[in-house]
Structure 1
C-alpha cells in the first residue's frame, strides 16, 4: 500500500512538473497570440500540418495514441500516407511512435521528450487555449548563447528543446529593454530562413491545427452533431409550444 501511494505521489509530481511551463505563462509574462482557428476547418492546412509534424516533431516526440491511418479523417489516402509520411518502414496501421529508446533519450537530452498526442489540450491556461500556447511558443524562439542549446523561448523561458524549425524561420535575436529587461516586441533577424514571416506563421498555424486535431479528432464531428441537436430542439420547441396551446385552448 505504501509503495502504491508513493507511486501516485511521484506520478502527481511528474504531471505537475510537466504542467509548470503552461501555468507560469498563464499566470503572467508573455501574452499568448491567438491561434487562427479557421485552420481547423481547412483540410489542406491539416494535411500540411501533418507533414510538418512527421518531418520535424516525430523524430524525438511520439504521438503514441494516434495511428497513421487515422489521418484518413483529414482527407489523406493510405497511399498518400505511405508515400509522404512513412520513412522508416512503418505500416499505415502503426501507432505514431519513435524508435528512440527513452533511457537513451534521457541520457542524451537530459529528459525524455514527452508524447505530443494531447499536448494541445494539456497546455491551456488563463492566457488562452492550448493551441494559443503552442502557436505562440513555436513562433517566439530566439538566439541566446548563454543557453546550452543556443536557443531560448519567450513563452517558455530557459526551454530545454532547441528550435527545430529554425531553418524555416531563420535565426533572430529578441530585443529587451535595457532598464526593465522586458521584451520590447521586436526582433533582430540574424540569418534569413526559407520562409518569410507570414509564411512561417502560416506553417506554424498548420502544424498547431494538426496537433489540436490530433488531441481530439472527434471535435469536428461533435461540433456538427451539437449544431444538429440544437436545430432539432429549436424545431421541437415550436411544435411542443403549439401542441401545448392546442391542448389547453378549451380550458379556462
Structure 2
C-alpha cells in the first residue's frame, strides 16, 4: 500500500513540479542510448553512485537491472549498496523527515521522472539532459549552486567532480520591446576548475544517465512500440479481409 501511494504521488506531483520548473531556457536534444546496453549499464552505475543517495526509485527493483545484460552477481557486487536482496526496491535509507530538514523539501522519487518532466518546451529526457549539464557556481545560494534550466534550484550539483566548477556569464542589454527595461542575458559558461572528465566525456555520461532514467520510467517501451507496429499491421490486414467478406455477404442482396 505504501509503495502504491508513492507511485501515485510521483505520477500526480511530478508533472506539477515540471511545470513549476519550466523556463524559457532552450533545451538541448538528449541523445537516445536506450537501445545501447553498455550505455544503460554506465547510466545505472552513475544513477546508483550519484542519485540514489538522496533520491529513491521505489518503483524499480534491482533484479530488473538484469534486463540490461547484467548478471545477479554483477548487480549485487556493483550496484547494491542500500539493499540486501536483489529483489528489493531501489529505496534510500534517508527518511522523508530528515530529507526535509536537511534540504528544505523531500527529494522526489525518480522512478518516472523522465516521463513526468515533459514540458511544452521539450521532452522529459531533453529537460533532464539540459538540467544536469547547466549547473554553475552561485555563492548567493545556500548550496553554492544554481541552474539555468531550473533557476534557484535547491539541489546541489551532484556531478560537479565530473564536470568541474563553472561560472555563468551574463551581460546586461536593453530589452528590444521595452527600452526602459534591462535584460540580464546569459552568454555562456566559464570553466573555473576542471573536472575528472572532459566536456565531451561528461556530456556522454549524462546522456547515458538520462537514457537509463528514461528506460527506468518504462522498461518495456521498445517492446510496446514493436508490438504496436504488429498490431497495426494485423488490423490493416483484418480490415481488408472484413471488407471483402462484407462485399461477398451482400453481393446477392439487391
Q: Does 1:41 align with 2:32?
A: no
Q: Does 1:31 align with 2:13?
A: no
Q: Does 1:22 align with 2:24?
A: no
| Structure 1: distance between partners of 2:44 and 2:103 | 25
**TM-score scaled by structure 2?**
0.84
Q: Which residue of 1 aligns with 2:185?
A: 182
Are the aligned partners of 2:15 and 2:118 in contact in 1 as well (CA < 8 Å)?
no
Q: Could you report, residue by residue, the CA deviation over 1:206-241 in whole angstroms, capped at 9, with x for unpaired residues?
A: 111111111122212211110111122233344445
Q: Which residue of 1 aligns with 2:180?
A: none
Give 1 or 2: higher strand fraction. Answer: 2
Q: Could you report, residue by residue, the CA deviation over 1:144-165 in whole angstroms, capped at 9, with x for unpaired residues?
A: 1111111100011011111000
CA 217–177 in structure 1, closer or farther in 2 if over 3 Å, else same:
same
Aligned pair count reads 236
Are the aligned partners of 2:44 and 2:212 in contact in 1 as well (CA < 8 Å)?
yes
| Structure 2: distance between partners of 1:43 and 1:52 | 14
Q: Could you report, residue by residue, the CA deviation over 1:1-30 in whole angstroms, capped at 9, with x for unpaired residues?
A: xxxxxxxxxx99xx66x655522454x420
| Structure 1: distance between partners of 2:145 and 2:207 | 21
When structure 1 is superposed on structure 2, of 237-246 and 51-60 the one drifting more is 237-246
Q: Which residue of 1 aligns with 2:196?
A: 194
Shift of 1:139: 0.7
Q: Which residue of 2 aligns with 1:77?
A: 71
1:191-230 matches, cutoff 5 A = 191-230=193-232
| Structure 2: distance between partners of 1:219 and 1:212 | 9
| Structure 2: distance between partners of 1:171 and 1:221 | 40
CA RMSD in angstroms comes to: 2.3
Q: Could you report, residue by residue, the CA deviation over 1:9-55 in whole angstroms, capped at 9, with x for unpaired residues?
A: xx99xx66x655522454x4202112223x12222211111110000
Q: Determine helix, strand or coil for the equivalent of 1:133.
A: helix
| Structure 2: distance between partners of 1:149 and 1:193 | 19
| Structure 2: distance between partners of 1:29 and 1:89 | 40
1:58-207 matches, cutoff 5 A = 58-88=52-82, 90-179=84-173, 180-184=183-187, 186-207=188-209
Q: Which residue of 2 aligns with 1:6?
A: none
Give ranges in structure 1 of 5+ residues lacking alignment. 1-10
Q: Which residue of 1 aligns with 2:4?
A: none
Q: Determine helix, strand or coil for the equivalent of 1:86.
A: coil
